[in-house]
Amino acid sequence: MRFATLGLFHEANTFSPFKADKRRFEDGGVCRGEQIIAEYAESSSTVGGYIAECGRLGIELVPLIQAFVTPVGAITEDAFESLVGEMLDLLRKNGPWDGVLLNIHGAAVAEHIPDADGEIAARAREVVGRDVPVGAVLDMHANVSERLIDALTVTLVYQTNPHIDARDKAEACTRLILATAEGRVRPEQALTQLPLVVNITRQDTSEPPISELLDKARELAGGMLSVSLVEGFPYADVSHMGMSCIAISDGDVQRARRVADELADEIWRRRNDLQARGITVDEALDIAERESGPVVLLDVGDNIGGGAPGDSTEILRAAIARGTRSLVQTLCDPAAVRHCIEAGVGARVELEVSTDKVPVTGLVKTLSDGRFEEPKPTHGGFRFFDMGPAAVLETDAGHTLVLGTKAVISSSLQQLLSVGVDPTTFQVVVAKGVNSPRAAYTPIAKRVVVVDTDGVTAMGLERFTYAHRRKPLFPFEAGQWR
Ligand SMILES: [Zn+2]
């Protein structure tokens, strides 16, 4: 058996002012051939799972191309056509294949194609034809379209948020594609899209209601090839945005349809429990000041994993105003990093940080190249990280700022530890995200608090103007389901 693996992985926040252009993809990482093995084989990611399981099952896996970009706005037409064009050329030239394993997110949007993942899958299907099984593992934040499901033979979805099961799901996907290629199973997929958005603050899979809905999905999975609950990604203004369910049966499409609908019924019943819940910055700092030990504040509005720039100082400014000391946070600010590098370690500096131009004075504690490695399975399973040249600044107000040149998802404590900052020694630890930081930050936290901050990933969706979403869609409209 000979399988291809290829992919373009992007979660698009269409409210971000920044586009995913070629330069951002080069920054995020475009790997070809053996580079893919070096980058992904030892990671807990989807591609890591494909590589491992093919190895175990004696399948020859040919790594073609993998393009990744840190979540940002829509993909430019130029970047999309050039990367996907190369991808499909490689697929065409190196075939024939017994199976194809795609690495796509499910919430990609291109400037000229709102359903970018559906497009990639459809084009790949066109190259290999109807008879070659094509599998994909989607992020739980996927906005799933009928077009995507039609193009794929098997669609699995992470069922954890923070996402720590990417590798497991990829292994399962590889086994299903092999079984299909060998004619042992005949996957029939059904997609049910719900007229419903689950708020970003209610997506943790270890907490009700999502944990209970996942119990229901597992109960329904008996005798099925797979049943997935998909949370969706509310910051993409596209018609297929929202929650969905995917069921796969062996040869019985009616049954797949019934199971997907039954899970959707249960989710719809819980729709009021899936809406926003968070507290103000001042309430959060009140809590942090009362507790002993680190209180992790999840900065919802500046969620890098959701496409925010990672440069918000809303919590920092409140801490300065209140005199709250012992706070650590990352901040993407290339100009501030340059300033610190020019001043050198040990120098006193006076500068303005972030686009908010917050004046700070302090000491440059450390400088680094900003590269770090996370051996433990964290959100999305990434192993190698690069925040670009970085500096640690200890301010006179008692705050430690880990300044970086590129925004990096707050999913690993190594981002701090690698530059000599121990988060457990702080009273307040600000993490840029809602769910992605939890796997790393919850273990060190006395308490984790979801903070309602502003930004392109703010929790209150009424702050955004949608032009393309479906109507009705709960909670914007009352909506109805069946
Ligand atoms: Zn996700």
The tens digit of pLDDT for each residue in 31-42 reads: 999 999 999 999
**Both structure tokens of 60:** 């020859």
**What pLDDT, on the 0 to 100 scale, is given for residue 449?**
95
Ligand 1 centroid to residue 379 C-alpha, Å: 8
Where exactly does CATH 3.40.50.2300 map onto the chain?
2-270
Ligand 1 centroid to residue 421 C-alpha, Å: 27
**What pLDDT, on the 0 to 100 scale, is given for residue 482?**
84
Ligand 1 centroid to residue 124 C-alpha, Å: 23
Ligand 1 centroid to residue 232 C-alpha, Å: 8
Ligand 1 centroid to residue 69 C-alpha, Å: 13
Ligand 1 centroid to residue 343 C-alpha, Å: 38
Ligand 1 centroid to residue 354 C-alpha, Å: 26
Q: 108-138 pLDDT, tens per residue?
A: 999 999 999 999 999 999 999 999 999 999 9
Which residues of the chain are under the pLDDT cut of 50? none
CA atoms within 13 A on the CB side of 286: 5
Q: Is CATH 3.40.50.2300 the right assignment for the domain spanning 2-270?
A: yes
pTM attached to this predicted model: 0.89
Ligand 1 centroid to residue 305 C-alpha, Å: 7
Ligand 1 centroid to residue 210 C-alpha, Å: 15
Ligand 1 centroid to residue 474 C-alpha, Å: 21
Ligand 1 centroid to residue 295 C-alpha, Å: 24
Ligand 1 centroid to residue 141 C-alpha, Å: 5
Ligand 1 centroid to residue 134 C-alpha, Å: 22
**What pLDDT, on the 0 to 100 scale, is given for residue 339?**
98
Ligand 1 centroid to residue 230 C-alpha, Å: 10
Ligand 1 centroid to residue 70 C-alpha, Å: 11
Ligand 1 centroid to residue 32 C-alpha, Å: 24
Ligand 1 centroid to residue 409 C-alpha, Å: 11
Ligand 1 centroid to residue 138 C-alpha, Å: 9
Ligand 1 centroid to residue 306 C-alpha, Å: 8
Ligand 1 centroid to residue 123 C-alpha, Å: 24
Ligand 1 centroid to residue 362 C-alpha, Å: 36
**What pLDDT, on the 0 to 100 scale, is given for residue 74?**
97
* Contact between 312 and 456 (Cβ < 8 Å): no
Ligand 1 centroid to residue 137 C-alpha, Å: 12
Ligand 1 centroid to residue 149 C-alpha, Å: 19
- The CA distance from 103 to 85, in Å, is 16
